[in-house]
A and B are shown apart, each in its own frame.
Chain A
């Protein structure tokens, strides 16, 4: 912890507006990314559930799909506005990035805008289409929504990948020339980084949704509704959790050539060692690593796919190009650790299932399932911290430093961060309160009579009560 504080103090000698701007971006991105996961992964789960409901004429599945749709109405709304916050912040906080490279990196954002359009349109149709459209056509409305979510993910991640491996331009005498926005969009890292995030979205939503029904089972609600509500997201989460470590490994493949400082920070390699150990835990103080658990060979093996090839040490990289090392290292290992744990967890479940034992009968397993959702979110956040903090001090790797991209603001920017924290806290509380009261009402309302009357007045409550059962 003290080491993390020291990292921050070191940064405080930068322009006054830099640290608050970075924290502001971290807060708004970190908050939005959770909702973005729901935007990406939830439609596919809703589709499967809804399809099952229609195909097998299964009222339980249909009921679940409808509830998920309503949940997504709330989540997508706050996701849409928190995404807008990011659009504004790109320009407000980082004029040096957007002013100089806007026409290099902007194209994927334009495509993302299109996908967001498609997603929002079909979301509106799907949410309000219950009972107002032929069932099959209604179900089909989820498809463009789900596809647009995937395309949108690719586009946004492509920009982030570009920040790691800038492409599609040259710099001549300080001027950005030969701009090729397509090359920037389809940069070398875009596909792998997209896969990593796309799968992460399924982990987050799959484990979180399954966890909700696991919590219900823990309280003794062991009906079909809960089993089905658990299994569908859990299957999605399983596939994602098993694939993710491999995709992550591929993504990290040539990190040592691409961003040696980031890899050195991930691996806490203070010097170049051949073979490099895998260093678990530990902190980096004054050029030395303390308190780490070293496993020989494994560092080289994992990071470089070799028994001997070393991880380049931090001492070979100028100190002013070091990222905040401890934050990067711990965030990376948190992500990997949780990722492995989740993979193990799902494998254990399916193994026992294959051997004819159902772990859902066991309280301890259900408790793990409840914890898996928040754990997946922590892994997601840690992953973003690792890659973003690990790219520092660059905003465009090797080209533009973050401190040169930030707007010329004073320390007053901390006020913005403070206000944003307050607003986001209130939004979080609001969302939790509303979602909880929805589930409470759903539980209370038996036999399909679970839809809301118009909540705007006692009068209309009575008027609408008769029409509410749609």
Chain B
């Protein structure tokens, strides 16, 4: 493995981690939004608050990690993507800002009116943000970001691949959140709530699965390079994702929530990794390869050192945080 591919892989691990962990946080907005009125939805909203409260900021840092690795390791392609996809990026950014702020505000609001307002903003922006990030991925994957940047402001993200990318992002986020929240509800001893969430998670999972596989058809014409990779090199991962997704539905149906969480995680991680493998060796599909996009070797080496430090310093801490939040003491509300 060359130096630049190693750094690109480290970057992509961040993309997968953000899609899975950050995605699950965003997806909880879907359940928050559809929980019903203040009285009926209180239980779900309290669960959402409790589930993502301690972890969302840490999960959010994966996005910063991705941005930093990208602009440091592959600076020109970063500038090209940013100047081309400025509109969906700004909209995603707005969503990120509103989500984070209103989530914190809602937790400490004084009146029901305030909580409702912040709650709607939190939930709506949580649902919408992944859509725009998905369109960004679609723009890159379908070869619409020119190497020199400043590509078309509109068609770069309003195209079949981007729109499917956005829909898939929203769906996978909600699906992940559904399985995570169901498991959390059960662990907290709220069986009725878990049952309610279980049904919705299965529905979301079925819809998302259909969208993912329906997307493969228009992709053949709209994003031939990606499509070729998905049906060739990455086919194993796509099949694995389908199997894991189906297994999740079965496990949810049989109320095996802890196991379902693992397979849901696997399904989403596999489909995202599939995208990465399918577009290899392109950094910006059909425009710039990873090797061409790479910055100075000394910097790439330094980045690998940083990644090594992250593995030593950040991962154990992250595992500790997750273990705490999954423990019995922390599951009490």
Contacts and interface: CB of A to CB of B under 8 A. Distances in A.
A117 interface: yes
B63 interface: yes
B292 interface: no
Given A82-B97, A84-B64, A92 B90 contact: yes
A81 B298 contact: no
Contacts of A92: 82-83, 86, 89-90
Interface string B95-123: 01111111111111111101100110000
Contacts of B97: 81-82, 84-85, 423, 427
Contact of B49 (A180, A438, A454): A454
Interface stretch (B34-42, B207-215, B249-257): B34-42
A456 B72 contact: no
B112 A430 contact: no
Contacts of B46: 454, 456, 460, 464
A124 interface: yes
A78 B330 contact: no
B137 to A, nearest CB: 16
A84 B63 contact: yes
A433 B105 CA distance: 9
B83 A455 contact: no
B223 to A, nearest CB: 23
Contact of B101 (A81, A107, A441): A81
Contacts of A441: 110
Interface stretch (A108-116, A233-241, A363-371): A108-116
B68 interface: yes
Interface stretch (A48-56, A58-66, A98-106): A98-106
B306 A99 contact: no
A102 B309 CA distance: 21
Contacts of A77: 57, 100-101, 103-104
A440 B313 CA distance: 40
Given A117-B61, A132-B329, A437-B109, A99 B78 contact: yes
B318 A121 contact: yes
B236 interface: no
A100 to B, nearest CB: 7
A85 B97 CA distance: 8
A100 B77 CA distance: 10
A343 interface: no
A232 interface: no
A181 B58 contact: no
A407 B148 CA distance: 12
B69 interface: yes
Contacts of B90: 88, 92, 416
A423 B93 CA distance: 12
Contact of A455 (B53, B60, B115): B115
B75 A100 contact: yes
Contact of B313 (A73, A118, A176, A427): A118
B146 to A, nearest CB: 13
Interface string A70-100: 1001101110111111011011100110111
A423 B107 CA distance: 20
A110 B10 CA distance: 12
A25 to B, nearest CB: 14
Interface in B106-156: 106-112, 114-115, 118-119, 149-150
A95 B79 CA distance: 5
Contacts of B299: 103-104, 106-107, 179, 181
Contacts of A91: 67, 71, 78-79, 81-83
A121 B319 CA distance: 10
A43 to B, nearest CB: 14
- The A contact surface, by secondary structure, is helix
Contacts of A109: 68, 71-72
B105 A95 contact: no
B104 A102 contact: no
Nearest to A109: B68
A1 to B, nearest CB: 32
Given A80-B60, A81-B96, A95-B79, A107 B317 contact: no
B114 A433 contact: yes
B61 A107 contact: no
Given A437-B110, A464-B46, A464-B333, A121 B303 contact: no
A181 B67 CA distance: 17
Contact of B96 (A84, A113, A129, A452): A84
A182 interface: yes
A106 B89 CA distance: 20
B321 interface: yes
Contacts of B93: 84-85, 88
Contacts of A438: 108, 110
B6 interface: no
Contacts of A129: 324
B192 interface: no
Contacts of A431: 101, 105
B45 interface: yes
User: Quick one: which of B38, B40, B61, B99 has the most chain A CB within 10 A?
Assistant: B61
A228 interface: no
B39 A458 contact: yes
Contacts of A103: 72-73, 75, 295-296, 299-300
User: Quick one: which of A91, A103, A176, A435 has the most chain B CB within 10 A?
Assistant: A103
A458 B149 contact: no
Contacts of B313: 114, 118
B83 A408 contact: yes
A462 B31 CA distance: 22
B21 to A, nearest CB: 12
A88 B102 contact: no
B24 to A, nearest CB: 15
B46 to A, nearest CB: 5
A127 interface: yes
B306 A107 contact: yes
Contacts of A434: 104-105, 108-110, 114
A99 B57 contact: no
A100 B149 CA distance: 13
B298 A181 contact: yes
A460 B44 CA distance: 10
Contact of A74 (B61, B105, B332): B105
8 contacts: A81-B101, A95-B82, A113-B68, A117-B310, A128-B54, A180-B298, A456-B106, A464-B333
Given A121-B314, A128-B53, A440-B110, 10 more contacts: A81-B100, A85-B97, A88-B67, A92-B89, A110-B303, A118-B313, A433-B114, A455-B107, A455-B114, A459-B42
The 9 A-B pairs with the shortest beta carbon distances in the complex, nearest first, are A106-B72, A102-B75, A103-B295, A457-B42, A99-B79, A437-B110, A77-B104, A95-B79, A91-B82
Interface of A: 70, 73-74, 76-78, 80-85, 87-88, 90-92, 95-96, 98-104, 106-107, 109-114, 116-118, 120-125, 127-129, 132-133, 144, 176, 179-182, 407-408, 416, 423, 427, 430-431, 433-435, 437-438, 440-441, 452, 454-461, 464, 467
